[in-house]
Amino acid sequence: MWGFHPRKPARSFALGVCAVIVAFACGNPGNTGTSTEAAPADQQVLRINDGTEPNSYDPGQQTYTYEAAVGRLTFEPLLQPKPDLSDVQPAGAKSYDVSSDGLTYTFHLRPESKWSDGKPVTAQDWVYGWKRVLNPALAAGYVDPFYDGTVAGGEKYADTDPKSAADIDTFLNGLGLSAPDDHTFVVKLQNPAGYFKWVATLWVATPVRKDIVEQAAGGAVASNDSTKAAAWANDAKTIVGNGMFKVSEIVPKDHVTLVPNPQYWGGAPKMQKIVYSFITDANTAFAKYRTGDLDVLTVSTQNVQLVKSDPVLSKQAKLYPKLSTFWMTYNTKEAPLDNEKVRMALAKSIDRDKLANNVLNGTVKPFSTFIPNGMNGYDASLGDAQKFDPTAAKKLLQDSGVTAAQLAKFKLLTRDSTASKTVNEFLSAQWKENLGVDIPLEVIDSKTVTTRIRKAQFDIYGPDGWGADYPDQQDWFDIFFASACHNLNWGCATLSGYDESVKKADASKSDSDRNKLYSQAQKQLVDSAAVGFIYQQGEYNLIKPYVKDLKITGIDDQGIPGDLFYHDIFIAKH
């Protein structure tokens, strides 16, 4: 990983995976020259490189994007994003109600919903599944959206002894999760949270069958027993889900195969088989795409120029925008980086167009604000304060009373990846050229960088960034809370009134009120140069022209374009 905050690793993407000048695009590429008539059923097979074998096939225990790619197809949450990410739409729940005080969400489940073995999905299964996510003994990597200001009782998560069954049982029984009947699942919140509908779209928040878990474990499982609790998810035969696909085969270190769930309430998907390979070598994966053994592939850096020059491959490749933003983090506890004018001078001396087009060759978009383009809350005008202006940058530095010699004592902490070094070498040169400031790179191994930033042992660090868990801007702002100093807010920026405004927005039931408050907070971040924003990331994918009806979004799993909406994709005759 190159610098995304570890709280949300499922939204971590690879930095600089491509290097060719292309435009951000939407939809399915390569639909020309191929029939739109579906191929026979035995050819309805989609083959993609997922890159890494999942650590678990239990959705509640999945954290990374390569795990989510399997989990979201085999288990279904209550709601799902609309294809344009404008709002949520029904999934496992056919509808939901919110109480007038905003504290109670009542989900009306689909009575026709069944598990892949044919048994009905009940509200009790949802209660059990959500409690597993919140069980401290199971230590779910993606638990914080459920205890951090949302599910009532969840605030006691960190105070519960994960080794004590009695403590865990008391905690779980005190959660605001209930099933008044088989088709009604109720979630009570700690505080009003207008964004909670998006939490209900996360693939980890699904039902789980207690009888399946206990059967695989050989009997009842104590709440503090994490070993027996995991047994069911290690065997394709006992991975019983409520999603549109089910796991039919797991070949360790090679691939996992998914086939349609014949019991799925929405009808069988068109694709008859999905094969996710675990190919770690980029050249091997690229060769398999070229020979037709893979249908979709994210292009690695070393193969981009080959794709660009190939008359066939170049027509199958497009860059898709991701809801991810990158910036440079300043240690605001160090003088003179505690000076807003100094930080802004550094931010305004970066030619982002040159970085995007000449250095990263069009694989990113120049960006000088926080919320990414394509998500509610994006406002290009808010980025004006940090726009490239070397003349203004020099004046800001002069007005700050800080000299270039004072800044020369600083170093730019850099991960030892080619991509990170490429970006930071450019930034260092920009500060030298446009500001007269010499800030050299300090290049060390990635693991040590992570340790250092968590202890605030750096001057300037980057590229740092964030990717959306769900397409609501609420997911972003707590990064810069004062209380997140040395945690998510690596540079410990302290913004007067910021935390209060964001918390007020989080608790508001009105989207318009939330948006106004978030906009104020975003403006404060940019105008104070709490960090120096630099670009929005994209993903450069090869997709065979016979893969039809992909609905690609900015929050698809890494290297798996369109996977939020796989029900209707199909292979055309070719």
DSSP string, 22-63: --B--S-S--SSS-SSBPPGGG-EEEEE--S--S-S-GGG--
388 in a domain, yes or no?
yes
Of 179, 207, 233, the one marking the end of a domain is 233
**Backbone φ and ψ of 120, nearest 5°:** -65, 145
Residue 485, classed as helix, strand or coil, is strand
Residue the block writes with tokens 């290049």? 443
Q: Are residues 204 and 330 in the same domain?
A: no
Show the tokens assigned to 265.
């309430």
Q: Are residues 366 and 486 in the same domain?
A: yes
Spatial CA neighbour of 324 closest among 368, 357, 373, 386: 373
Look at the chain and report how many structural domains it folds into: 2
Spatial CA neighbour of 422 closest among 482, 463, 371: 463
Q: Are residues 345 and 460 in the same domain?
A: yes
pTM of the shown model:
0.86
The H helix count followed by the E strand count for the chain is 18, 19
Are β-strands 104-109 and 184-188 bridged in parallel, bridged antiparallel, or unpaired? antiparallel
How big is the chain, counted in residues? 574
Q: Are residues 223 and 326 in the same domain?
A: no
Q: Report long-range pairs for 391-396 (Cβ below 8 Å, ≥24 apart).
A: 392/348, 393/344, 393/345, 393/346, 393/347, 393/348, 393/349, 393/434, 393/435, 394/345, 394/349, 394/434, 394/435, 394/436, 396/341, 396/342, 396/344, 396/345, 396/348
Q: Are residues 228 and 329 in the same domain?
A: no
95 in a domain, yes or no?
yes
CA 221/CA 407 separation, integer angstroms: 59
- Our CA angle for 394, 397, 401, nearest 5°, is 140
214 in a domain, yes or no?
yes
Helix %, strand %, coil % of the chain (to 5):
35, 20, 45
Residue 161, classed as helix, strand or coil, is coil
Tens place of pLDDT for every residue, the chain, 574 residues?
233 333 343 333 333 333 322 334 334 444 444 678 999 999 999 999 999 999 999 999 998 889 999 999 999 999 999 999 999 999 999 999 999 999 999 999 999 999 999 999 999 999 999 999 999 999 998 898 998 889 999 999 999 999 999 999 999 999 999 999 999 999 999 999 989 999 999 999 999 999 999 999 999 999 999 999 999 999 999 999 999 999 999 999 999 999 999 999 999 999 999 999 999 888 899 999 999 999 999 988 678 778 989 999 999 999 888 999 999 999 999 999 999 999 999 999 999 999 998 888 777 899 999 999 989 899 999 999 999 999 999 999 999 999 999 999 999 999 988 888 999 999 999 999 999 999 999 999 988 998 899 899 999 999 999 989 899 999 999 999 998 888 889 999 999 999 999 999 998 888 899 999 999 999 999 999 999 999 998 888 999 999 999 999 999 998 999 999 999 999 999 9
Buried b (16+ CB within 10 A) or exposed e, 532-569: bbbbbbbbbbbbbbbbbbbbbbbbbbbbbbbbbbbbeb
Q: Are residues 222 and 326 in the same domain?
A: no
42 in a domain, yes or no?
no
Q: Which CATH number fits the domain that encloses residue 328?
A: 3.10.105.10
Q: Which CATH number fits the domain that encloses residue 107?
A: 3.90.76.10
Of 207, 233, 259, the one marking the end of a domain is 233
Of 178, 202, 233, the one marking the end of a domain is 233
Write out the residue range of the structural domain in which residue 137 sits: 56-68+75-233
97 in a domain, yes or no?
yes
Max distance between CA atoms of the chain, in angstroms, equals: 72
109 in a domain, yes or no?
yes
The gap from C-alpha 561 to its chain's centroid, in whole angstroms, comes to: 13
Whether 50 and 558 have beta carbons less than 8 Å apart is answered as: no
The gap from C-alpha 430 to its chain's centroid, in whole angstroms, comes to: 30
195 in a domain, yes or no?
yes
275 in a domain, yes or no?
no
Residue the block writes with tokens 């074998």? 53
